[in-house]
Every structure is written in C-alpha cells, then in structure tokens.
Amino acid sequence: MDDSELLPAADDTGVIRFSSAAYPEHRRAEACLEFFGRTIVGVEFEPVGERPLNICATIRGLADLQISFHSSSGMAMALPPSMIRNDNVVLTSTNLPAWQSSQFDREISLGRDDAVLSSNCDPGWQIQPRPLQGIALCMPRAALFPRVERPGAALHRRLPAQDSALRLLIRYLNALRESPPLAPGLARVARNHILDLAAVALGATPDAAEQARQRGVRAALLRDIKGDIETQLADGGLTVERIAARHRLTTRYVQRLFEAEGSSFTEYLRNLRLTRAHQMLKSPRTYGWKVSAIAYAVGFNDLSYFNRAFRRRFGMAPGEVREQFGAWNY
C-alpha cells in the first residue's frame, strides 16, 4: 500500500477525513499507523475483542496544532521506542467509562471524559476496550510547556472530567470541529486560546494563568455562552441573568465578555434573532409561515418592535424580504 493510498487529502476547509473501513480488514492496522503517524503520532494499533479494527477520524490543523475527532471500535495502541519520531505531546480524552494508559512505568486508570497528556518521545500504550468517541489534541512541547508550572508532573496523570478548564477546552475544540475555515490571523488566535486552556488544565504558571484568564478562558466562555444562547433563541424570556446563572458566572462578568467584543448581551441576542428571522423569511421551508409566527419563533414577543428592528438592520420590512425571494407574505 503506497503513501498516497494510505493518506487522504485535506478537503477545501483544510480538514482530513479518514475511515479504516475503506481498507481491507487485513490492512487496516497499517493504514491507521500511516495516517495517524503523519497527523498525530505513529503508534501500533490492534483490535480488542472479536470486532475488527475500525477507526473514523476528522483531523483539523490549526497552525502547529492537530485536533483529531474520532470514533473507534475497541483497540490497543502502543508507541514502541522504534517508532518515536517527534517530541510533541498529545492530550487524549474519551467517553469510555473505563480505559487505561501507561507511560514512564506508570499505569493509570481513566474514566468517562477524563483526559491524559502523553509524550510522543517516550514509549507507552493505551487500551480503550470498547467502542468510543474521543478527542486527541497534538501540541508542540515547545509551545505548551513554557506555559505550564511543572511540565514533568503534567505528563501522564489523570485530568478529571470535572476540571472546569478541561471542560472548557473540550467544548472549545468541539466548537471548532465544524466551523468554517479560519483566516490565518484568527487561526493563530484560536491556537493560543487552546494552549491557554490546556495550560490551565495542566497547571499554568502565574503569568500564563493570568494571560489565559484575559485571553483563552474568556474566549472559551464566550463561545460556550453564545452556543447556549443559540439553543434557547426561541425563549422570549431569555435574559443575561439566566445565562449567567446557567454558567455559574456573575451577570456583570457575562456583560463584560460581550463588551470586550465591542457589543453587549442585548445587542448580540437581538442581532442573532434578527439574522435567524431573515434566514427563515428566505427559506422555502417557511414560505407558509406568517411573519408574526417567524418573529415569535426566534424569540420576539412584540411584533411592532420586531418590524422596526428588522427594518433598521436590513433596510427593508420582513414582508419585503419575503417578496424579494419569491414567497407570499401570508
């Protein structure tokens, strides 16, 4: 099997998608070794139990970071001395209720959504005995370790799922999974946010912790809050106080997160609702909806206010948008 056959090409968004099911069963371990060796870390793969080895992965590059979102059958992975190729580190988290990792002659047990930081330049192994979904974040040691208070102690120890910085990091990574391609400048910003959050989860230096508080943690919290707002957009009673309580933050802190972007919670919520209404007015799926039904569906309680705000934002009335796109204003 030649290299071009083993390594899928990146798509238009810079994402690489891999599935071992595309290869004959007797060649899947080889395909996985070649693919992950080039993108994350070169390790040997073996199936666990009677199921054949099966791994699906989406790899997203972000400057010098590589993020793998993957699902797999039960498997064992080993990094022998002969396969050590770089000194990167990899943060791994899975949804398995029980899995094991070994490195530096230390074996640790991990649970659902726990994480562990492994070294690519030291032998080790992991056993993930059942079908799983997981994330692997590959980072250059030189980029991460200056931000960590005790880098040696950060390696190969259990990071509990309950750790707030780890939870923020995982949610931030998941938000990037299907996001559109980032411009180089934004990619560098996101890369630094990720390293900030990883450092805090591992034990950041005082300077790095303060930098993370001002940069990475704030960015991750704001992204998390915005995602929460989107899921509750139809709730006309949504307030900054309720959002703050859901995220265990003060109302003033949430307001400052939006102010740092040059906006406010109220402006963000209103503009998001107006944008969603504009999309619905153009969509064939909602041609039969009354304008009032669309306004209420996105959380506006006052139709007159909705019409005024919509005209200010888009320069035309909601009914005019509908007519422009060939629908009737029922």
Is the per-residue pLDDT at 326 higher than 70? no
Over range 12-16, report the average pLDDT. Answer: 71
Q: Is pLDDT at 330 greater than 50 in this prediction?
A: no
Q: pLDDT for 119-128, tens place per residue?
A: 999 999 999 9
What is the pLDDT averaged over residues 45-63? 87
pLDDT in tens, 132-174: 999 999 999 999 999 999 999 999 999 999 998 999 899 889 8
Q: Over range 212-223, report the average pLDDT.
A: 78
Question: What's the CATH class of domain 1-139?
Answer: mainly beta
Predicted pLDDT of residue 12: 58
State the CATH architecture for 271-324: Orthogonal Bundle (1.10)
Q: What is the DSSP letter of 289?
A: S
Overall pTM > 0.95: no
pLDDT tens-place string over residues 75-108: 999 998 988 888 999 999 999 999 999 999 999 9
Please compute the mean of the pLDDT values over residues 6-20 and round it to a whole number. 72
Per-residue model confidence (pLDDT) at position 7:
59
268 with 243: CB under 8 angstroms? no
In the structure encoding, which two tokens stand for residue 258, read together?
């939006």
Instruction: Enter the DSSP assignment of 148.
Output: B
Q: Do 271-324 and 1-139 have the same topology in CATH?
A: no
Using CB atoms within 10 A of its CB, is residue 9 exposed (0-12), middle (13-18) or buried (19+)?
exposed
φ, ψ of residue 26 to 5 degrees: the values are -75, -5
Q: Provide the pLDDT confidence category of residue 179 given band limits of 50, 70 and 90.
A: confident
Domain residue spans in the chain?
1-139, 144-153+161-231, 271-324
Distance from chain centroid for Cα 284: 31
Alpha-carbon distance 41 to 143, whole Å? 17
